[in-house]
Amino acid sequence: MSLSNLKKDRGRKGIEALAAEAAKMNKPGGSFDDDRFWRPSRDKSDNGFAVIRFLPAVEGEDIPWVRIFSHGFKGPKGQWYIENCPTTNSGKCPACERNTELWNSGIDANKDIARKRKRRLQYISNVYIVSDPKNPENEGKVFLYKYGMKIFTKLMDAMDPDFEDEDAINPFCFWEGADFKIKIRNVKGFVNYDKSEFAAASKFLDADEKALEALYEGQHKLQPFVDNSEFKEYKVLREHVESVLQDGDSPQSSAADEAAAEEDVQAEGHSPGPGSSPSSSPVTNDDDDSDSGSAEATVTVNSEDDGEPKSAHAYFEELADED
Ligand SMILES: [Zn+2]
């Protein structure tokens, strides 16, 4: 952006505006009740449709997305562990360490538990809502959008298509990008985003410079979501994971955990987790996790003590059902 824009910004986004933004970031419950986030709605049969446009990196940031690992699982006594995972920034994570122990035990029941508790990968980008039939008031506005591996893969495929008859596009580009059609279905009880696709490349908002500039200025910074302040200290996380697990498991596997693992397998129907690469641990091989793909939720996964919103629990239960 030009200097004149920067100067203009100075008036519009003064210290008060920055303070308000900072307050939003620190709000307990994270993005779940953060109205900067958008999520596609679904009907009773879990079908959903919306058209969005991914937006470029904001000024001062290089990449138009951030990626965040998080955990969301229940301990044997029903308590939740919902925390951002420090491995996002190459930190040490007590929940991942516990998973590695379980995985390395070689016991199938332990591996199932590790799958259930593994870190989940999510991305955040700025998007413009082109069409949201269930909530038309969102149309024409900029939001943050949290999504999973499946949609991220579609973004990557658009930039580097597999077949010669497909033209590479930069889906984040105002001038040469494309609208993205989100198509959600319920496939055998799993929320499925497979049918989602890009429309043909098109100029965004007819490349109207004024409209683009206004929109660009309304985008949100992404880096604050992966700032170290968003991740609790190792000691704090270890205390939390220990209190949730309450000695309820060990690498040798207790009877209670075996029962829980059986339940998990039945509930999920399938477990495409770490088992896809038997020799490695769940800590390092879950990047290609497909069942966290396309998460449509808007929760930032950092709870404040036991005060995480009920809806966050519902979100994580739902996440386990995504395919
Ligand atoms: Zn972790």
321 alpha carbon to ligand 1 midpoint, in Å?
20
Question: Is the pLDDT assigned to residue 43 strictly greater than 80?
Answer: yes
Tell me the three-class secondary structure of 102-170, residue by residue: HHHCCCHHHHHHHHHHCCEEEEEEEEEEEECCCCHHHCCCEEEEEECHHHHHHHHHHHCCCCCCCCCCC
* CA count, 13 A, side-chain hemisphere, 6: 5
308 alpha carbon to ligand 1 midpoint, in Å?
18
Q: Retrieve residue 224's tokens.
A: 């604050």
Q: Is 82:320 a contact under the CB 8 Å cutoff?
A: no
CB atoms within 10 A of CB 162: 6
Question: Is the pLDDT assigned to residue 25 strictly greater than 90?
Answer: no
317 alpha carbon to ligand 1 midpoint, in Å?
18
Alpha-carbon distance of 123 to 50, in angstroms, equals 18
Instruction: Report the pLDDT value the prediction gives residue 2, as an integer from 0 to 100.
Output: 55
97 alpha carbon to ligand 1 midpoint, in Å?
7
Q: What percent of the chain has pLDDT over 90?
A: 57
Q: What percent of the chain has pLDDT over 70?
A: 66
226 alpha carbon to ligand 1 midpoint, in Å?
14
Instruction: Report the pLDDT value the prediction gives residue 86, as an integer from 0 to 100.
Output: 98
Alpha-carbon distance of 251 to 287, in angstroms, equals 23
Instruction: Report the pLDDT value the prediction gives residue 20, as an integer from 0 to 100.
Output: 56
117 alpha carbon to ligand 1 midpoint, in Å?
9
116 alpha carbon to ligand 1 midpoint, in Å?
12
Q: Is 82:71 a contact under the CB 8 Å cutoff?
A: yes
Question: Is the pLDDT assigned to residue 198 strictly greater than 90?
Answer: yes
* CA count, 13 A, side-chain hemisphere, 317: 9
164 alpha carbon to ligand 1 midpoint, in Å?
39
Mind listing the pLDDT tens digit for each residue in 151-175?
999 999 999 988 888 889 999 999 9
- Return all residues near 248 (Cβ < 8 A) that are at least 6 apart: 75, 76, 77, 254, 256, 257
| DSSP 8-state assignment for residue 303 | -
281 alpha carbon to ligand 1 midpoint, in Å?
12
72 alpha carbon to ligand 1 midpoint, in Å?
10
152 alpha carbon to ligand 1 midpoint, in Å?
20
Angstrom distances, CA of residue 237 to CA of 70, 148, 216, 269, 305: 12, 24, 37, 30, 11
Q: How many helices (H) and strands (E) does the chain have?
A: 10, 9
235 alpha carbon to ligand 1 midpoint, in Å?
13
User: What is the rounded average pLDDT of the residues 284-310?
Assistant: 36
Question: Is the pLDDT assigned to residue 122 strictly greater than 90?
Answer: yes
212 alpha carbon to ligand 1 midpoint, in Å?
39
Alpha-carbon distance of 303 to 30, in angstroms, equals 8
Angstrom distances, CA of residue 155 to CA of 121, 123, 202, 318: 15, 11, 16, 23
User: What is the rounded average pLDDT of the residues 78-95?
Assistant: 96
93 alpha carbon to ligand 1 midpoint, in Å?
5
Residue-averaged pLDDT of the chain: 77
189 alpha carbon to ligand 1 midpoint, in Å?
27
Q: When comparing pLDDT for 19 and 184, which is higher?
A: 184
User: What is the rounded average pLDDT of the residues 22-31?
Assistant: 47
- Return all residues near 249 (Cβ < 8 A) that are at least 6 apart: 76, 102, 110, 113, 256, 257
Mind listing the pLDDT tens digit for each residue in 232-265?
999 999 999 999 998 555 544 444 443 443 333 3
Question: Is the pLDDT assigned to residue 139 strictly greater than 70?
Answer: yes
55 alpha carbon to ligand 1 midpoint, in Å?
29
| DSSP 8-state assignment for residue 275 | G
DSSP string, 201-215: E--GGGG-HHHHHHH
pLDDT bracket for residue 296 (50, 70, 90): very low
Instruction: Report the pLDDT value the prediction gives residue 253, as an integer from 0 to 100.
Output: 42
Question: Is the pLDDT assigned to residue 109 strictly greater than 50?
Answer: yes
Angle (CA) 141-174-205 rounded to 5° is 55
Q: What domains does the chain contain, in order, with CATH numbers?
A: 30-323 (3.90.198.10)
234 alpha carbon to ligand 1 midpoint, in Å?
10
244 alpha carbon to ligand 1 midpoint, in Å?
15
Instruction: Report the pLDDT value the prediction gives residue 247, as an integer from 0 to 100.
Output: 58
